[in-house]
Amino acid sequence: MARRRDRMVRRLRDRVEVSDRVAAALRRVPRGEFVPDARADRAHADRPLPIGEGQTISAPHVVALMADRLDATTGDRVLEVGTGCGYHAAVTAELVGADGVYTVERNPTLADRAREHLAETGYGAVSVRTADGRVGWTEHAPYDRAYLTCAAEAFPPGVREQVRPGGIVLGPIGDRRQRLVGGRVRSDGSLDRTNHGPVRFVRLR
């Protein structure tokens, strides 16, 4: 399995430029443990896969791109909106430490599965909450970073306001035409935005 992950990372680096640190994180996380058994043989293909409940796990190159552009480091506190199967949270945990990752999933079935996947793969210290991700997770704010794994027309105010000045929010923004947008939070709460290119995600519910 480690060899399959290594090949996966080598292929995705042909598509996107990511740091060695992010590449190493993707090599360490056992992606095959986060997808349904029926899809396990395709776990390392560079494409999204269904995970049930009408949701998908993002293609590896997209996870790598987002992890790189989030620019999180060890000790950061990170909010994730849209836990899905838990894979992206595990990659983030490799970058900041599992106890610094707080992830919110609206669908209780997916949230329960994600908790199981994370516990079974050594990332049980990641905090998973079943709730509407648009309101963030105020109890652990402020965050150094926050990101969406589902598309929204704009960053939800409840998420943006929980990121400290100087921190970064990141996510797919738009409806039919989505762009991966990063925003560094200014002292007045506005965002200094960077467009990281076109993406396609399921919609934030």
For β-strands 143-148 and 127-130, DSSP reports them as: unpaired
**Of 188, 183, 144, 189, the residue nearest 167 (C-alpha):** 144
Residue 52 region by backbone torsions, left for phi larger than 0, else alpha for psi between -120 and 50, else beta: left
Query: Is 127 an active-site residue?
Result: no
**Among 19, 58, 127, 190, which one carries the catalytic annotation?**
58
Helix (H, G, I), strand (E, B) or coil at 92: helix
**Packed helices 2-12 and 20-28: angle between N→C axes, nearest 10 degrees:** 150
Distance CA 78, CA 131 (A): 17
Query: Residues with catalytic annotation?
Result: 58
